[in-house]
Amino acid sequence: MDSRTLADRIEITDLLTRYATAVDDKDWPLYRSVFTADAQIDYSTAGGPTGDVDAVVAGLTEQLALFSRTQHFISNIAVELDGDIAKVRAMFFNPMIVSPGKQFTCGGWYNHDLVRTPDGWRSARLVEDAAWFDGLEAAFT
């Protein structure tokens, strides 16, 4: 593996870490820095918002208000590099606290279409592929 490929993979991993940090901290300027200006995001498999970054931030702001704490663990990062574009599929495990003793957990995959920009790698498209949920009743009771 050449040094450019290694650097790209490190930058992409950093981008995914920035994404998880932004969602968990509800840091919407940081969240926006993960995406291109015209990015499309789809959280529909988890009942979440879809659309451009503005629409998704509005939806996440409302939905994540249900939770006092969230954590996103991202692993098993598969990267397919092709010049200035990349496809990434990464697992997520996401425990969320509704209130003391009430926890909701889910897991699945994030599928990103990334592009290299003058500011580094950015996601032009994110599709969440939610695979499972546990404690769903905790979020809605």
User: Among the CATH numbers 3.10.450.50, 3.40.950.10, 3.40.50.720, 3.40.50.300, which is that of 3-139?
Assistant: 3.10.450.50
DSSP code at position 27: -
Here the tokens at position 39 are 């990015």
pLDDT of amino acid 99: 84
Q: What is the pTM of this model?
A: 0.93
Is residue 138 pLDDT above 60, yes or no? no
**Residue 130 CB burial class (10 angstroms; 0-12, 13-18, ≥19):** middle
pLDDT digits (tens, 9 = 90+) for 45-101: 999 999 999 999 999 999 999 899 999 999 999 999 999 999 999 999 999 998 888
Smallest CA-to-CA distance from 90 within 61, 123, 68 is with: 123
